[in-house]
Structure 1
Amino acid sequence: MLHKNKFALWVKLGLLVLAIALATGCQSSPAPAAGEAAAAEEEPFVVGALHVGAITDAGYNQAHHDGLVKMTENLPNVKLIEAENVPESADAERVMENMIQQGAKLIFPQSFGYLDPALAVAEKHPEVIFMHPAGFKLAKNLGTYWGNNFEAMYLAGIAAGSATKTNKLGFITAFPIPNILASVNAFQLGAKSVKPEVTTTLVFNGAWVDPAKEAAATNALADTGVDVVTMLVDSPITIVKTAEERGIYSIGFHSSALQQFAPKGWLTGVAYTWGDLYTKLTKEVMDGSWKSEHIRGGMESGFLTLADYGPAVTPEVQTLIKEKEEAIIKGELKIFEGPITDNKGTVRIPEGEAGGIELLDSTDWLVEGVIGQTE
């Protein structure tokens, strides 16, 4: 009888343990901490960028690429998708659509000719934000930005005017769009401030990247006595290298990486530094505070700066340029302060008036001293 009672007791204990185990197993596991869950579930924020040329061009495309890379370093949860050598055509729309399929919530269409394709894609995808460089149109989900390159070009003009022996400068670019014309005018005004008799010959190539035309234009300018050449094209390597071969000076544009191609003839360059702006814009899209607007900034914004000087720029000239830069930032120096006459004799800015950053989007004339046309 005692054995039977012990056996029954063991059975009851076993059933009790089993019941407890089953009850425990049916309970939910403790929820992870909120931070752990967020980290586990957080997906990368995808940013797309399409470039009209190669991101190793030591120019326009590399400057934008470097800024985007800086942004990803500042925001580790961002995944960057880039496409190079995208034509300014329907191909741009296809590339942007593909980026959206890959999850892009912010797209940088990095060429002037991408504006209309970007507007078309933006209309179809209101949930995606687009930021276009130097564009002049807005949409609910498309904004624009650009640095006031004419301020830096004025300073570069001082370096050019100080270095020239022939009083003949050259400017090679792609198309007569407002921000380019404003830069040409500022370059001439900067040079004229130290060398009143100087002129700037303007050449349009009709393409952002065309090494053959760029080399031909540089050689043609050198043949006419031009001894300092600058540019506003996407990949300035050809112009700088050709100028070096011809024994004339060069002033770069877009990226400070260009200096390596002209160890003797390099004067300085206008260098864009987009990293901080791209970080700010991406943060705004991520937190929902972004708004559609035209963003324009000058030397004070940090969007651009002057590259290092070459050996031909004397300490005295460097000091002068620094003084003028500080005056521009403080608002004490107005580059387009009237009276200013165009190269056809028409007064464009009367005495007592001054043009400002709005000239980036409205200039359609060339200042006195520029040899060339706007067509």
Structure 2
Amino acid sequence: MIHRRQFMLSTGALALGAALPLGAFAQEAAKIGFVYVSPIGDAGWTYQHDLGRREMEKALGNKVQTKFVESVAEGPDAERVIREFATSGHKVVFATSFGYMNYVERVARQFPNVVFLHATGYKSGKNFAPYNARFYEGRYLNGVIAGKMTKSNVLGYVAAFPIPEVLQGINAFALGARSVNPKAEVRVIWVNAWYDPGKEREAAMTLISQGADMVTHHTDSTATMQAAEERGVHAFGYHSDMSKYGPKAQLTATTHHWGDFYTKTVQEVLAGTWKPTRVWGGFAEDMVRLAPLSSAVPADVKALVGKLEGQLKARTFHPFTGPIVDQSGKERVAAGVTMDDAALGKMDFFVQGVASKLPNAK
């Protein structure tokens, strides 16, 4: 594993530079930095961001030179890494985890000539802005498949932290399942970490022992998929297509795609046209996709999911359209009303169909 405190320079940029003729460096490549919360590996949250980094680098060629630091904890170490990027001449810094938000805000104020982008947060400023993907769209489709295919009516969910983004995914999964199977229930176990394969595996095994025959996760590793494969139940990958870790278990996966966003953002910064606007893209923007559906998914379920996916791409369907009722029976969204982005960004409840309680819930 690459040491977390070691800045890694893209070898592609170096190789390209070595082939250039004398004088080709009159226009110096713009330095672009990436801060990753977990190891890159070959699947998961950080892996998808690194794929995006490489896609951007390939698209922009010798205009950019990228560096990254992986496995940076959401604490003072994050601020140090972000600041090191800013002080070493990086023009753009992408900080790719929710817990980096306040550190990005602090450093951005001190370096007004550097552009900072922060994944999954909500704060912004003159030179920093958040970006995110509508993961909940894919979660709803996963829920539809789970609701149709479950035999036990128990669906398991390994979750990291009870923040709005994670609650959106759990609730969308439950709403999708209940839309086709009113008896389905979602059970959640919190691991209080984005990346902890041991805890993720333990949580998945516990859910399976409680009767879950469909499991998914909002964590970074492949541990949940591997547990499902081992125990002979079905699973839905997250971030990446994880079918190689669960060839029999995976029914599909909600996958995230950042390359076009990274390329467009850096192009705007280099052209001097970038503005700090919030980006939140889904199926319509091709930032969220479904991995290929397993042959185990029945034809009628594939057809239903395909129809819903088309509606998401056309923006004619929204998973959080009322009536939506929470666990206590309180109506949160009236019939025919769709939750707006502001409400989604403050989500702090579980919908009916989620059997577990929120931490510290009264």
TM-score computed with the length of structure 1 as normaliser: 0.87
Shift of 1:37: 11
Shift of 1:39: 4.3
Residue-by-residue CA offset, 1:297-326 (whole Å, 9 max, x unaligned): 221011110011223112221111010111
**Candidates 286, 289, 310, aligned match of 2:294:** 310
Q: SS of 1:370's equivalent?
A: coil
Residue-by-residue CA offset, 1:63-113 (whole Å, 9 max, x unaligned): 100011100010002101000111111111211222233321100011111
Please tell me the root mean square deviation across aligned C-alpha atoms, in Å. Answer: 1.6
Partner of 1:355: 339
CA distance in 1, matches of 2:211, 2:200: 17
CA distance in 2, matches of 1:359, 1:67: 29
Shift of 1:217: 0.8
Shift of 1:40: 4.2
Residue-by-residue CA offset, 1:218-248 (whole Å, 9 max, x unaligned): 111111110000111122x111101111111
**Candidates 182, 187, 191, aligned match of 1:201:** 187
**Candidates 26, 32, 48, aligned match of 1:63:** 48
**Candidates 151, 160, 167, aligned match of 2:146:** 160
Q: Compared with structure 1, are the counterparts of its residues 230 and 209 closer, same or farther at alpha carbon in structure 2 (3 Å cutoff)?
A: same
CA distance in 1, matches of 2:164, 2:23: 47
Query: Which runs of structure 2 are paired with 1:1-375 in the superposition (5 Å)?
Result: 39-76=24-61, 77-235=63-221, 237-256=222-241, 258-375=242-359
TM-score computed with the length of structure 2 as normaliser: 0.90
Q: SS of 2:243's equivalent?
A: helix
Equivalent pair of 2:200/2:219 in contact (CA under 8 Å): no
Shift of 1:160: 1.2
Partner of 1:4: none
Report the AA paired with residue 203 of structure 1.
I
Equivalent pair of 1:267/1:313 in contact (CA under 8 Å): yes
Q: SS of 2:244's equivalent?
A: helix
Q: SS of 1:49's equivalent?
A: strand
Shift of 1:328: 2.3
Shift of 1:353: 1.6
The 10-residue stretch of structure 1 (320-329 or 94-103) with the greater mean CA deviation from structure 2: 94-103
CA distance in 2, matches of 1:40, 1:178: 45
Shift of 1:211: 1.5
Shift of 1:57: 4.9
Shift of 1:163: 1.9
Shift of 1:202: 1.3
Report the AA paired with residue 239 of structure 2.
H
Higher helix share: 1
CA distance in 1, matches of 2:228, 2:304: 25
Residue-by-residue CA offset, 1:163-206 (whole Å, 9 max, x unaligned): 21111101111111111111111111111122121000011111
Shift of 1:352: 3.1
Q: Compared with structure 1, are the counterparts of its residues 299 and 358 closer, same or farther at alpha carbon in structure 2 (3 Å cutoff)?
A: farther
Equivalent pairs counted in the alignment come to: 338
CA distance in 2, matches of 1:329, 1:95: 37
Q: SS of 2:284's equivalent?
A: helix
Larger Rg: 1
CA distance in 2, matches of 1:67, 1:348: 36
Q: SS of 1:369's equivalent?
A: coil
Residue-by-residue CA offset, 1:346-366 (whole Å, 9 max, x unaligned): 110112322144444121111
CA distance in 1, matches of 2:140, 2:146: 10
Equivalent pair of 1:265/1:312 in contact (CA under 8 Å): no
Q: SS of 2:183's equivalent?
A: coil
Q: SS of 1:332's equivalent?
A: coil
Q: SS of 2:34's equivalent?
A: strand
Contiguous gaps of at least 5 residues in structure 1: 1-35
CA distance in 1, matches of 2:83, 2:120: 22
Equivalent pair of 2:92/2:114 in contact (CA under 8 Å): yes
